[in-house]
Every structure is written in C-alpha cells, then in structure tokens.
A and B are shown apart, each in its own frame.
Chain A
Amino acid sequence: MHRFANPTRFVALVRAVQPWAAGIALVTLAAGLWFSLIASPADYQQGETVRIMYVHVPAAWMAMFCYSSMAGASAVTLVWRHAVAHVVARATAPIGASFTFLALATGSLWGKPMWGTWWVWDARLTSVLILLFLYLGYMAIENAFDDRARGSRAAAILAIVGAVNVPIIKFSVDWWNTLHQPASVVRLDGPAIHPSMLTPLVLMAVGYTALYLWILALRVRADINMSKVRALTLRGA
C-alpha cells in the first residue's frame, strides 16, 4: 500500500485501470440490462415490477461498498497521512451519494406497487436515508474550510465516525421486523434466489463496480491535476 502513496505511481496505476474499468462497465451493464429487462422471467408474485430489483439491489450494495471504501481510505489518510488515500475518499463521496440516491429512488418506485406506498419509515429505509445524509455531511465539511487540508482531515474523521451506520444498514432487516425483505443473495446458507434472476443481478453488480472504478479513476486524475494547478498558481504568487 505504501508503494502507492506516491502520487506519480498512483496516477500510473489509475491510468492503467481506467480503460479496463470502462470496458468492463459498458459490456456488463449492457448485458446485465438485456438480461434483467428482456431475458429474465417476470416474478410469479411481483410480476414485471421485479425488474426494478436489478437496478435497485446492486445500487444499495454499492452505496454501502462506497461508504466502506471511503471510511477505509479515510482511516489510511489519518493513520499514515497518505494524501492519495484522501483523494480516493474525496472522489468516492459523490459517487456513493449517487448510488445511495439511486437505491432510495428505485426502492421508492418499487415500494409503490409492492407495499402501496412510496415510503415507509422502517429500519432499512431510515438507515439508508441516514447514509445519504452522511455522504452529504462528508461533502459539506470537505468544502467548508478555507484551508483544504483542514477540510480533508475533518471529513476523514467524520467518515470513520459515520461507519457505525454500515452494519446497522446491513443487519437492519434481521434485527427489526420490517416491510423490507431480508437478505436473499449474501447469506450463510447460500442464495435464496433463482439462477435466472441471479445472473442479471450479478452482471449488474459487476457493472456498477466497474462503473464506480471508472468514474473514480476520472475523478482522482482530475483531483490530482487540480492540486497541481493550485501548486503552480501558488508558485506564481
């Protein structure tokens, strides 16, 4: 890990990853959408609305995955003071917030036909909503300081504090009685979902992850270039 603390080497890594991530994202998302919208069966209970799942569930996974990455990168920032780790965390935040919003919005669209309401105040929905606020708080504090380094450190601490929410989201459907269905893919006794549905789900999940890496690579490079611009401006001043 220390090898990539050097921005130059890290940028080289990012540049190498970017085209692969872009390619995988485009291919798997196209295949995943085809399988989920056309080639998979409608659910015998839920009918065609089940297709929302293929957009919704991986988005919710990514919301938590992005937050965990952000908190992990923040811990690296604070412990080893690696500036690149913070660039990754900072670049992840808006992507994670978008996935969280996507999960909430598609969940709401799915909830209307299934539960008869756009929104219920159950543990899963509430904790995901809080996750969205944590992302927003992270981005707000990141930009609230004149000294950018201050903003980075404060945001890193907040990201770590907010990480307590991640297990709460994961287990909220098991700990509390709720309308939201319990985990059906990632569980100890194997997935409780038919393979014809699992295929598009996995494809979409891989596609989302690759999409995340692609956007992350773009944002990280932009961020590093911006700090170079600032360094040059300061030098001129």
Chain B
Amino acid sequence: MAVFSGTDLRCVRGERPVFDGVSFRLNSGAVLELRGANGTGKSSLLRMMTGLLPSAGGTLSWNDEPIAADADAHRTRINYIGHLDGVKGMLSVAENLRFWMSLRAGAEADEERYHMALATFGIEALADTPARYLSAGQRRRVALARLVACPASLWLLDEPATALDTAAAAALDHTMGSHLGAGGMVVMSTHEPARHPTPRVDLNDYARRARGAVRTAAGMTA
C-alpha cells in the first residue's frame, strides 16, 4: 500500500506566483483530479509531481519519504503524459513505442506488453506507419500506449483525453480502471465534468491565495 502526498506546495513561474499551499494525499488504487481555470497551474503541479519542475516551497512524498531524497527511484515509479505527445514523426508507431520501452529496465523485450499496448488503443494496424502521417488523435493514442508499454505505478496525465474520440476515451477509462484495480495511482488534470466522485484539488482557490502573496512581496521596501 503506497501513499503519494504533497504538503504546502508552492509554485512560481517566471516571477509570477501561480499557487500556494496545495496539499493532497493519494492512496494506492485512487485517482486525484486536478481542476481549475486556465493559468491556475494544473500542468505546473503535474510537472512538479514528475520532478520536471522544482517546487518553490513544500514537499512531495512517497510513503512519507520526500521524493527529492531519491529522485532516481521516483522516476522509475512514474509515467507522465504531457501536453506534447513526444512522438517522432520520422519513426513508425512501432519504433516510437519500442524506443520508449527500451528506456525502462525490464520492459525492453516484453513482446506481450508491446502488443497489448498497441491493441489497447487500437493502433495495431498503424504499427508500421510513420507517425508523421497520423492525425492528432492517433498520435495521442500512441502517446497513451506508453502507459501500457512502460509499467509504472503512478500515472501523471495532463488532460489525457485531448483529441481522443469516444472509443479511445473509453479505452483510456478502461485502462485506468485496470491500473487502479491493480493498486496503481492516477493524477490527472481535466476539464470534463466529473462522472463519479473522486478526490480533487481545485487550483482556483490556491491561485487566489498566491495572488494575495504577491501583494506582500511587492510591499517589501528597497
């Protein structure tokens, strides 16, 4: 039973405070939804959880150990899907997927997983197609196939359903369901109306608090 948690997280982008005081606690088998208007820092919070963006304050912990203490271990636990697909147009779908598998120890030669990843998102037929011929939705499917191809316990998804059709969105829901069933965790940012009650962080509140903090910072005397 793993626990992923954050306390008092603060984010400053450029010189602009984005949010302040964000805390959450996520157990195995649970989803955390990040909500909030544009510019409130959903992507920034996800990137912080990925380790891409250092936090301006607060700590992220895994089983109550700060993840900064062992960043390498944290990277083996996560699977991040950002706004950009990370799909190389000059490579075929299969080459793209196999490249990502080769970066994970233990996943490089897992044929079963590789075929499962293609099948889950319905892209077997595209395996040999150069990715530059794919539509935005199809590229997104290739990116999402990484979730299945590269096993990791914590999925960090930044608006994963962007450009997906209903079938692919359903496939994503289903994949997330089985991931959670197996004790995985998901943190995702989304704008879609919630279908079932899930724990969530509403960044609108924290963004307001951060803007209050600017006032104090600017009041500092020279």
A234 contacts across to B, CB distance below 8 A:
15-16, 214
B54 & A81 in contact (Cβ 8 Å cutoff): yes
Decide: A149 near B214, CB < 8 A? Known: A81-B54, A228-B222.
Answer: no
B218 & A231 in contact (Cβ 8 Å cutoff): yes
B15 contacts across to A, CB distance below 8 A:
148-149, 227, 230-231, 234
A189 contacts the other chain (CB 8 A): no
A221 contacts the other chain (CB 8 A): yes
Most buried by A among B54, B217, B221, B222: B222
CB distance from B217 to the nearest CB of A (A): 6
The tally of residues in A whose CB lies under 8 Å from a CB in B reads 17
Contact with A along B1-40 (1 / 0, CB 8 A): 0000000000001111000000000000000000000000
A149 & B222 in contact (Cβ 8 Å cutoff): no
**Complex Cα gap A208–B141 (Å):** 63
B14 & A8 in contact (Cβ 8 Å cutoff): no
B218 contacts across to A, CB distance below 8 A:
228, 231-232, 235
Residues of chain A from 148 to 162 with CB closer than 8 A to chain B in the complex: 148-149
A7 contacts the other chain (CB 8 A): yes
CB distance from A4 to the nearest CB of B (A): 15
The tally of residues in B whose CB lies under 8 Å from a CB in A reads 13
**Complex Cα gap A235–B214 (Å):** 7
B211 contacts across to A, CB distance below 8 A:
235
Decide: A7 near B220, CB < 8 A? Known: A81-B54, A230-B15, A234-B15.
Answer: yes
Q: Which residue of A lies closest to B12 (CB)?
A: A149
B215 contacts the other chain (CB 8 A): yes
Contact with B along A207-233 (1 / 0, CB 8 A): 000000000000001001101101110
Q: Which residue of B lies closest to A14 (CB)?
A: B222
Residues of chain B from 188 to 222 with CB closer than 8 A to chain A in the complex: 211, 214-215, 217-218, 220-222
B222 contacts across to A, CB distance below 8 A:
11, 221, 224-225, 228
A231 & B217 in contact (Cβ 8 Å cutoff): yes
**Complex Cα gap A230–B218 (Å):** 9
A224 contacts across to B, CB distance below 8 A:
222
**Complex Cα gap A221–B221 (Å):** 11
**Complex Cα gap A149–B217 (Å):** 17
Q: Which residue of B lies closest to A229 (CB)?
A: B218
B221 & A231 in contact (Cβ 8 Å cutoff): no
B13 contacts across to A, CB distance below 8 A:
147, 149
Which listed residue, A81, A148, A235, touches B14 by the CB 8 Å rule? A148
**Complex Cα gap A224–B15 (Å):** 12
Q: Which residue of B lies closest to A148 (CB)?
A: B14
**Complex Cα gap A11–B220 (Å):** 11
Contact with B along A1-26 (1 / 0, CB 8 A): 00000011001000000000000000
Q: Which residue of B lies closest to A146 (CB)?
A: B14
B214 & A231 in contact (Cβ 8 Å cutoff): yes
**Complex Cα gap A8–B219 (Å):** 11
A8 & B221 in contact (Cβ 8 Å cutoff): yes
Residues of chain A from 54 to 96 with CB closer than 8 A to chain B in the complex: 81
B14 & A147 in contact (Cβ 8 Å cutoff): yes
| Chain A positions near chain B (C-beta within 8 angstroms) | 7-8, 11, 81, 147-149, 221, 224-225, 227-228, 230-232, 234-235
Known: A149-B15, A231-B15, A234-B15. 4 other contacts (CB 8 A): A8-B221, A231-B218, A234-B214, A235-B214
User: Could you pull out 28 A-B pairs where Cβ atoms are within 8 angstroms?
Assistant: A7-B220, A8-B221, A11-B222, A147-B13, A147-B14, A148-B14, A148-B15, A149-B13, A149-B14, A221-B222, A224-B222, A225-B222, A227-B15, A228-B218, A228-B220, A228-B222, A230-B15, A231-B15, A231-B214, A231-B217, A231-B218, A232-B218, A234-B15, A234-B16, A234-B214, A235-B211, A235-B214, A235-B218
